[in-house]
């Protein structure tokens, strides 16, 4: 290992994350190959669907924790003579967070069902959709939770800043959002054109 990597200034390596590796004169014995020679890319592609849905399920759990923390802080923190939970904008954030979590949960559940019933290829559109929607949605919820905590939400005193940094990285994992949006749009245009005949 050359060095452990940081993400947004957080040590990513010590938490099961990434490191920079350097290889010199490496040979892999044929007996150690997982599949045939030259099959590495295919193996990597095959794990993307299950990997993405795993990230999405974990991210929904993170969103639930963020809303739990947001509500606790809103009830406990008093500003301008009343709890934050009585402020209209805070209530809107809490309500929107719940709606967004439930929408995301249904999309991920549909995707999992399709993967089980028609396979990864048949669920391709939905896998792309959850890859785009999940980090974007959870990032929004974390941002609102941080706002409720004020400057403390940016500090090490609460888990929100680190969670925000972690969820932001998912918008790069397995390809940036823009790549998936372009592919999803291209497929949708094709599907609509075929439907028109």
Provide the number of structural domains found in the chain.
1
Q: Give the CATH number for residue 138.
A: 1.20.140.10
160 lies in a domain? yes
109 lies in a domain? yes
Q: Which residue has the tokens 């009585």?
A: 86
4 lies in a domain? no
81 lies in a domain? yes
Give the span between the Cα atoms of 140 and 94, in whole angstroms.
11
**Strand, helix or coil for residue 117:** helix
Share of the chain above pLDDT 70, in %: 98
Q: Which residue has the tokens 């609509």?
A: 192
Residue 130 CA neighbour count, 13 Å, CB half: 30
pTM: 0.87
Give the span between the Cα atoms of 173 and 70, in whole angstroms.
27
Residue 66 CA from chain centroid, whole number: 14
76 lies in a domain? yes
Give the span between the Cα atoms of 155 and 149, in whole angstroms.
10
Residue, of 158 and 29, whose pLDDT is higher: 158
Residue 45 CA neighbour count, 13 Å, CB half: 7
Q: How far is CA 109 from CA 113, 114, 150, in A?
A: 6, 9, 33
Q: Which two tokens stand for residue 167?
A: 């969820």
Q: What is the mean pLDDT of the chain?
A: 91
8 lies in a domain? no
Range of the domain at 98: 49-196
Mean pLDDT, residues 76-94 taken together: 96
Residue 185 has pLDDT above 90, yes or no: yes
Give the span between the Cα atoms of 173 and 59, in whole angstroms.
13
């Amino acid at each position: 290992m050359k060095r452990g990597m940081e993400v947004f200034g957080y040590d990513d390596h010590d938490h099961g994350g990434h490191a920079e590796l350097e290889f010199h004169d490496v040979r892999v014995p044929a007996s150690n190959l997982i599949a045939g020679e030259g099959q590495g890319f295919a193996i990597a592609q095959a794990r993307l669907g299950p990997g993405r849905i795993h990230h999405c399920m974990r991210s929904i759990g993170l969103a639930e924790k963020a809303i739990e923390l947001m509500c606790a802080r809103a009830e406990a923190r008093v500003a301008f003579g009343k709890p934050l939970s009585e402020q209209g904008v805070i209530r809107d954030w809490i309500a929107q967070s719940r709606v967004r979590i439930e929408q995301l949960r249904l999309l991920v559940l549909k995707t999992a069902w399709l993967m089980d019933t028609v396979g990864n290829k048949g669920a391709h559109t939905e896998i792309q959709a959850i890859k785009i929607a999940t980090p974007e949605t959870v990032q929004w919820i974390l941002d609102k939770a941080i706002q409720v905590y004020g400057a403390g939400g940016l500090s090490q005193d609460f888990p929100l800043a680190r969670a925000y940094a972690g969820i932001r990285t998912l918008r790069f994992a397995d390809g940036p959002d823009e790549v998936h949006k372009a592919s999803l749009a291209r497929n949708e245009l094709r599907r609509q054109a075929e439907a028109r005949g």
